[in-house]
Chain A
Amino acid sequence: GAVVSQHPSRVICKSGTSVKIECRSLDFQATTMFWYRQFPKKSLMLMATSNEGSKATYEQGVEKDKFLINHASLTLSTLTVTSAHPEDSSFYICSARLSGTGTDTQYFGPGTRLTVL
């Protein structure tokens, strides 16, 4: 249980285009999902917290107009990188929070490798 999927796993796009990445919790409902960015050989950087039915909360320094987040249902959050540029190339990972007895635990998707040419 607690499986999170991401689509696509890899995407290559031209500079100036927009790319949408989907994050789905497959076997549980997640009112909160998170989007991270990971640079090579580095830890994860939290970009934003996505709450179902409300606006996302962005971390300091993350451009909300560039990284659009939509959490339209309890099992789906999307990240759209608008007008992508080569510096946006990175590994993007989402997670979904499973709440319940005990503690909240985040389960991670497999990641999406974005390359902007």
Chain B
Amino acid sequence: GDSVTQMEGPVTLSEEAFLTINCTYTATGYPSLFWYVQYPGEGLQLLLKATKADDKGSNKGFEATYRKETTSFHLEKGSVQVSDSAVYFCALNDYKLSFGAGTTVTVRA
């Protein structure tokens, strides 16, 4: 079945550092790919998405490119802030959402 493998955390960074969270997937079809972010005590917020190969999703300085050849959808941000501290989930959608395990990111001032 469809599945998502996500980089294990936790990840601790200093402000203005570069962030990368790796995500790879297995799917029988051509799913849409998503990154969701969860702040402490809250639900999930859609961060960005891509619907087909080579699409780049971007939002709030975060980017991810749908790479069919490597079945990847890595999340990147060039300069993180303390407010980016959260749990990040990679997910694929083939009618149902399949989530990765989540990566906890802590940004220190």
Residues of A within 8 A of B (CB): 2, 4, 6, 34, 41-44, 46, 49, 93, 95, 102-111, 113
Contact = CB atoms under 8 A, between A and B. Distances in A.
Interface in B84-100: 89, 93, 95-97, 99-100
Given A103-B32, A105-B34, A108-B36, A43 B99 contact: yes
Contact of A108 (B44, B93, B95, B96): B44
Contacts of B12: none
B58 interface: no
Interface of B: 32, 34, 36, 41-46, 49, 51, 89, 93, 95-97, 99-102, 104
Given A41-B104, A95-B44, 16 more contacts: A2-B46, A34-B97, A43-B89, A43-B102, A93-B44, A102-B51, A103-B49, A104-B95, A105-B46, A106-B97, A107-B46, A108-B43, A108-B44, A108-B45, A108-B46, A111-B43
A110 B45 CA distance: 9
12 contacts: A2-B46, A4-B43, A43-B99, A44-B99, A46-B96, A93-B44, A95-B44, A103-B32, A104-B95, A105-B46, A106-B97, A108-B36
